[in-house]
Structure 1
């Protein structure tokens, strides 16, 4: 019998709370090493050193605000749950046969998350919209669920996926800026001459640790960011990508432009912030997680000409 990690759901929830504190701790330690130890004091030196320090600190604080904004948007935003009493709409004109499927649906009638057949969640005892998936940690079905992330103590789904992607994006930029900025001070750690060392050993050790942590996070986050860029380009999720080993390609791949808009919206002014305009929420139902057009539906008007 396969080992099921979700038997320890309560432990995973507790771990998530610890991970939030861990993230805040890493940010605080990095702030100390970059601002208080290295570039803050350089502001008082005057000349080119002060100008460089001002640029570094301005960029660091801007990215820090965006990281925290995106991160807590993922934490506090509901990823999207199935509305109570939701039932699949019937298309009588097309005669798709959903009437019989709904009438005969039982707790055993399940399918993959991208299928068009009527799906029923055995745990929630309710119908499941397309692309939804039951999260054993959250204890409910999540709309367009990508995965449950212990780092944010939340599921990543339709309504906070954009915030999650922006969190990855800004975290990569922030950690890269920190690593590049601390690299000169990091090299001092390996100098042989004591005359070149003008800071305390404690400050030098903090700089060394902060550099290692940030370059490690930059490289790891880059891998996740590239993976999710590929998923967005194909209009699929992590769970659906796994299902593709046994099912056809995603029927929701409408082209890169349309796929991008279903995550980030159409208003370019809002692409880099974890928000949507009211107009985008109205004209792009996919942002809500319940209504997704497929390639077949997109091609129907052309076929009728």
Structure 2
């Protein structure tokens, strides 16, 4: 038997062994919003990588912020006897019932990024400290604007708890600046396309704005595109998430000057690790509600950011 054949047989045996291990440990369902948003894509990829590293097979799917689609995916996970579900949910209230059904079927759930409005249903709710992060972003925004001028706020999806928490964090800082005046506040539903359209309309009514503070990076990018299209390269934008696209705008001195990193990759991997612990030990590794602090990203550290992870 030649060396090439031996290596092929060894590789095949290793692959078979790995597949058998995954089959023995079972399936973990990973459900997030649309992967068109790089943050949610990073969550899904981070969770999948960690699950496979620990020997699980995975079912990765997107609910696209559609509650009915999310419920169907949870039903699929139950029908396929998943060992656990890792979920970035489609609604703080609407998700409670489906997760209660999963719990009744003996399937533990681990929430990331977004909370639900009930405790005791999921094993863990691992979320970014959105309020703390929003305050970091607002403080930077106020500093960039020298504490004065007209500004716009773009809100996320109104059914998403994070949208309200971030907005509250922004205003608990910005409202203390008497010379900062919010002239428009509109929801763009976390969407880049909607943010572009909203900003085009807002600029027609308020051409003298000096800043835009956004509930996420995707909307910040839409706002930046509209500002550039209108020739307003001096209007300052601050986002929230810590995406690579916004990092590039910061580095290349675009309209976006800062964002707030929420560690999506780390959260997703932590959820898988805690699911693995729960499945091995029959109990939660940590308390249900877990907050991870956010980090301000600006010109001083943007070059260290990659896939929602900040290198040392």
Q: TM-score range by the shorter chain?
A: under 0.3
Kindly indicate which of the two structures has a greater share of residues assigned to helix: 1
TM-score if structure 2 supplies the norm length?
A: 0.26
Look at both structures and tell me which one has the larger radius of gyration over its CA atoms. 1
Kindly indicate which of the two structures has a greater share of residues assigned to strand: 2
